[in-house]
Amino acid sequence: MKTLRIMLAIFMVMGISVFTNAQSLVVSGKVVDENNQAIAGVFINVKGSSTTTITDMQGDYKISAKMGKTLVFSYIGYEKRKVTVTGARIDVKLTPEIITLNETVVVGYGMQGKTSGLASTKIRGAFAMHHYPLIRYNAVENEEYGTYRENRFISVANEALSTFSLDVDAASYGNVRRMINQGQMPEKDAVRIEEMINYFSYGYARPTGEHPVNIVTESAVCPWNTKHKLVRIGVKAKEIASENLPASNFVFLIDVSGSMQGANRLELVKASLKLLTNNLREKDRVSIVVYAGAAGEILPSTPGNDRQKIKEAIDNLSAGGSTAGGAGIRLAYKIAEKNFIKNGNNRIILCTDGDFNVGISSNAELESLIESKRKTGVYLTVLGYGMGNYKDNKLQTLAEKGNGNHAYIDNIQEANKVLVSEFGSTMYTVAKDVKLQIEFNPAYVNAYRLIGYESRLLNKEDFNDDTKDAGELGSGHTVTALYEIIPVGVENTYGGVDDLKYQNTKKIKNSATKDDVLSTELLTVKLRYKKPDETNSRKLEVPALANALNEEPSKDFKFIMAVAMFGQLLKDSDFKGEATYQKVIDFAKSGIDNDSNGYRREFIRLAEAVNQMEK
């Protein structure tokens, strides 16, 4: 009898063990680094299955798994961690990955010197900026960027007008941040200063009159050349309350080719689009188109509040095959037009690394395709993902030549910023074909230089040409342009031109008097735009007074100066003057002001990291 009881007890224990091991539960926890700082964007997979998730901005996660299964935690720059499921709560600490680099891939050294042909370093992740990489390595060898000649100083006596399309894109900043976080100095062509400045929002006054935009100006001494002036021109778009936003017809166009495999590519795309899905309403509609070797619709137009159906379609995506991007774009436009909402927000959201290798692949072909589609009334949002083979130049073409904007998503925090926090400005256009034209007064301005916007320059005649495409402004958007000015009486040492033979330029330069200084204008800002449903443009203009120089620039202006200096140093600009990374840090710290989301403090950490890397 005793033996029987023992055997029954053993069977009961075995039964409980089998039941426990087969039990499925929701596992939750937090992922931190070696300093107990939360890591967002960690990819988590149930080993041997397709069940995955990504940590949120607080490092928290939830995933369904059975007892006894293995969770695999992966994040760029950290050792992969495998943990057996033994309960419903699993907190994980990741440690930096120690990578040995062959001499052939080391492209520069920081504080650490060469050691027997090999070097090693801790490659840091995006959210642990307090440790600095010791060396730089080539992680962007196959990435592609457009090349633009940096804007030079232009003599006002020869050309008093400066004309360009507004650029609301901010992709360059996220991409530059990604490279720095990987311990690498950014590619010079990847640095677009206007996009870095416009990554941040500023406290510009909202429009109150008939126009959906407002213009503000401010001038101060240029911090990298104190003989010069710096003028900022800020544009603020009207804000639309979320409950009053028009119905949306979204087409998620997702690259599922083989190049999109990985936690920071397709898996991050899926997590990003789920964030957007959480904010959709019943009146919104979503279709999903994917492309690899061919293109296809995997979700027909579906009400926005049917979130489970949309998320299930997203969860089922997997990557593999070649990249027929052109076919995907054509199909997405076809479906967007089929489900077009009159007076609504009709928009394609393209998620890709830009590596188109089937059908359309050249920038010229892409430009032709997009220009033929931009008259449909369908707007385009381009979200770039991935690294190593990222084709920034192609995505820039899509954003600039179509009615589009462009962001780079390097982690779930950035996805939340673009698709949730700035949902209105990213997704809802309040003014299209927005152009700026600045007229400089030769009585006060010897020469001027537009900082950035090299790919957005227009001919002066384009300003009044309503057939000329330009940039779009979303709800609540702020856009900034900077001009470095050489005042009259200060020599242009950057290649100025001789006085014209047939024009009395000397007389023009010396025409200002003391009385004029108190009343005359330094420049006039002219802005043209169209309402989203109109074809004729409207114009407004605002003057900036010559005596309006701020002895103490606003905090926003100081921070903008810091970002502009940072960009010029990264590009090794001919015009960086006396800029230093320490000066960048000092100006940024004095311009923090309202930083509830911590974006400006993150910029300071980036500048500090580069300052250490360059020592």
> Tell me: the pLDDT tens digits for 387-419?
888 889 888 888 887 778 899 999 998 999 999
* pTM of the shown model: 0.77
Place of tokens 């690394």: 353
Higher pLDDT, 568 or 361: 568
Q: Where are the beta strands (DSSP E) in 129-212?
A: 135-137, 154-155, 161-165
Helix (H) or strand (E) holding 353: none
Cα–Cα dist 390/369, whole Å: 21
Place of tokens 């050691």: 115
Query: Cβ distance 30 to 91 under 8 Å?
Result: yes
At 3, the pLDDT band (50, 70, 90 cuts) reads low
Query: Cβ distance 80 to 45 under 8 Å?
Result: no
pLDDT value for 40: 74
Q: Name the DSSP letter for residue 87.
A: S
Of 3-7, 422-426, 606-610, the least confident: 3-7
Higher pLDDT, 101 or 97: 97
Higher pLDDT, 121 or 476: 476
- State the CATH class of domain 22-123: mainly beta
Residue 450 in tokens:
């537009």
DSSP string, 201-219: ---PPPP-SSSSEEEEEEE
Cα 558 → chain centroid = 21
Q: φ and ψ at 321, to 5 degrees?
A: 105, -175
Residue 199 in tokens:
């990554």
pLDDT value for 333: 93
Terminal Cα-to-Cα distance of the chain (whole angstroms): 81
Query: Cβ distance 83 to 67 under 8 Å?
Result: no
State the average pLDDT over residues 459-479.
92
Q: Please enumerate in sequence order all residues whose Cβ is within 8 A of that of 83, keeping only pairs 6 or more positions apart, or say none.
A: 70, 71, 73, 90, 92
Q: Mind listing the pLDDT tens digit for each residue in 306-340?
A: 999 999 999 999 888 777 778 888 899 999 999 99
Every domain of the chain and the residues it spans:
22-123, 154-240+431-557, 244-407
Compute CA distances 214 → 219, 242, 469, 542, whole Å. Answer: 17, 21, 21, 9
Q: Mind listing the pLDDT tens digit for each residue in 198-226?
A: 999 999 999 998 999 999 999 999 999 99
pLDDT for 43 beyond 50: yes
pLDDT value for 130: 32
Query: Cβ distance 135 to 105 under 8 Å?
Result: no
pLDDT for 503 beyond 70: no
At 50, the pLDDT band (50, 70, 90 cuts) reads low
pLDDT value for 518: 41
β-bridge mates for residue 481, sequence order: 233
Any idea how long the chain is? 615
Higher pLDDT, 113 or 152: 152
Q: Mind listing the pLDDT tens digit for each residue in 72-92?
A: 888 766 788 999 999 999 999
pLDDT for 587 beyond 50: yes
At 12, the pLDDT band (50, 70, 90 cuts) reads low
pLDDT value for 417: 92
At 138, the pLDDT band (50, 70, 90 cuts) reads very low
Residue 285 in tokens:
């509609």
pLDDT value for 134: 31
Place of tokens 């901010």: 170
Average pLDDT of the residues of the chain: 83
Of 14-18, 80-84, 276-280, 535-539, the least confident: 14-18
pLDDT value for 5: 55
pLDDT value for 16: 46
What one-letter code names the amino acid at 403?
N
Compute CA distances 152 → 220, 273, 491, 561, whole Å. Answer: 20, 41, 15, 18
What one-letter code names the amino acid at 269?
V
At 116, the pLDDT band (50, 70, 90 cuts) reads very low
Largest Cα–Cα distance of the chain, in whole Å? 122
pLDDT for 27 beyond 60: yes
At 57, the pLDDT band (50, 70, 90 cuts) reads low
β-bridge mates for residue 540, sequence order: 527
Fold of 244-407: Rossmann fold (3.40.50)
pLDDT for 65 beyond 70: yes
pLDDT for 61 beyond 60: yes
CA nearest neighbour of 305 among 248, 253, 239: 248
Helix (H) or strand (E) holding 315: helix 307-315
Crossing angle (nearest 10°) for helices 599-613 and 555-571 = 30
